[in-house]
Amino acid sequence: MKFDSVVLGGGIVGVSVALHLQQRGLHVALVDRRAPGNETSLGNAGLIQREGVFPYAFPRDAATLARYASNRSADVRYHPAALPALAPFLYRYWHHSRADRHARIARAYSTLIEHCVTEHRALVEMAGAQALLRTGGWIKAFRTEAALQRALAEARRAQVEYGVPYEALDRAALQAAEPALRAAFAGALRFTSADSVSDPGGLVAAYAKLFEARGGQVLTGDANTLEPAWRVTTQNGPVEASHAVIAMGPWSGEIARGFGYDLPLAVKRGYHMHYAARDGARLNQPLLDAEGGFLITPMVRGIRLTTGVELGLRDAPKTPRQLEAAEPRAREIFPLGERVDAEPWLGCRPCTPDMMPVIGPAPRHDGLWFAFGHAHHGLTLGPVTGRLIAEMVTGARPVADPHPFRADRF
């Protein structure tokens, strides 16, 4: 089977790449071991974060570092046995998080973020997936006035520097927006330019269905069989293409390593669980309890509770202690009922130490392309990443300068 391009990875990034290549007239195959949307893209908070111009930095103040070191923080936990392997990555992450470096990174990162909502809405319209999309933003709530004021300062900075709007909600306004909330938060921010979805995996599946309806092929195969230039084994037989795009999320590093690219890719693990809502309670939009270290959001399956970051090796067994710690706190603020899922879901966010994805050509192999390392913003940046890759492959003018995201920057 011969194609113009083969895309390895059926998550939001890979499916978006396949769609955009197809829109530019290429014959495309999408290859993964599972159906689209059933790995990392299944379990996120469903946010399309137009406000997310500042990528999540490594803390540099002593108080926060000490709190994380105790390994009892609500938002960050770690596996002690994994720290020796993670130490080089964490040091580089800390290095890039210095205020001046982080500001430079944000200037490049924001060129992708600014297109996230418009690019998603275009695909949603074409895929007929409007029922999964919520507009109107999401809420970040704060238990203390001090934390609220720090967040307000950052929101004002994002508004001034990048034109990102927000609304400040006092206690009464927050209660009016979410009447079922029980806790007395000091206040909140609503990021009004963001969107969210009620089924991230379902959204990816809808995009994949559009891809197939337009003549694309979704094939089951093993990305580890990729060989120049370019051939991969699938259950339907070998696939050959002029271009191959690695969009395998947390598995991308090992595929790239097979071609001699030792990219500094690590993972931030995270968990979710769904709950029924008690007594007819309704949650209108995603809500992050910033100091509680968790987010609750209305999904098709129920109220989804998502955790913060667990630092560990990608394939280590589940240790959902964060979820166990967050659940009682979540029940304090919202009337959660019984658990819907049989066990917690675990996913791995692929991260680079400079907090920016790798998007662009492989430096030493013609026709090989990288699209991974989106960390917390895989869903947010999937469609614009797909557009950027397709524009580079076809020689079109890119929607954003791809230079900051090149693979040889490390």
What are all long-range contacts of 294-297, with beta carbons under 8 Å and residues at least 24 apart?
Answer: 294/74, 294/75, 294/322, 294/326, 294/329, 294/330, 295/45, 296/330, 296/333, 296/334, 296/336, 297/45, 297/46, 297/47, 297/138, 297/196
Q: Calculate the CA 102 to chain-centre distance.
A: 19
Other beta carbons within 10 Å of 135: 13
Position 140 confidence tier, pLDDT thresholds 50, 70, 90: very high
70 assigned to some structural domain: no
390 assigned to some structural domain: yes
Other beta carbons within 10 Å of 350: 25
284 assigned to some structural domain: no
- Give the pLDDT confidence score for residue 191 in this predicted structure: 98
**pLDDT digits over 67-111, tens only?**
999 999 889 999 999 999 999 999 999 999 999 999 999 999 999
Token readout for 259 is 């071609």
Does residue 184 surpass a pLDDT of 90? no
Mean pLDDT to the nearest integer, 348-369:
98
Question: What span, in angstroms and rounded, lies between the C-alpha atoms of 361 and 393?
Answer: 9
Mean pLDDT to the nearest integer, 324-341:
97
Cis before 256 (ω within 30): no
Does residue 17 surpass a pLDDT of 90? yes
360 assigned to some structural domain: yes
Share of the chain above pLDDT 90, in %: 97
163 assigned to some structural domain: no
- Give the pLDDT confidence score for residue 220 in this predicted structure: 97
Query: How open is the CA angle 348-352-357, to the nearest 5 degrees?
Result: 95
Task: Indicate the number of domains in the chain.
Answer: 1
CATH number at residue 398: 3.50.50.60
**Amino acid at position 228, single letter:** P
Range of the domain at 39: 2-44+201-262+353-409
- Give the pLDDT confidence score for residue 183 in this predicted structure: 81
- Give the pLDDT confidence score for residue 202 in this predicted structure: 97
398 assigned to some structural domain: yes
Selection from 71, 108, 77, 91 nearest residue 308 by Cα: 77
6 assigned to some structural domain: yes
348 assigned to some structural domain: no
- Give the pLDDT confidence score for residue 18 in this predicted structure: 98
Indicate the range of 61-75, 129-143, 165-179, 384-398 predicted with least confidence: 61-75
b/e code 245-283 from CB counts within 10 Å (16+ = b): bbbbbbbbbebbeeeebebbbbbbbbbbbbbebeeebeb
Cβ pair 276, 340 in contact under 8 A? yes
Helix axes 378-394, 99-113, angle to 10 degrees: 70
Question: What span, in angstroms and rounded, lies between the C-alpha atoms of 324 and 320?
Answer: 6
- Strands 28-32 and 47-48 come out as unpaired
Token readout for 318 is 């589940």
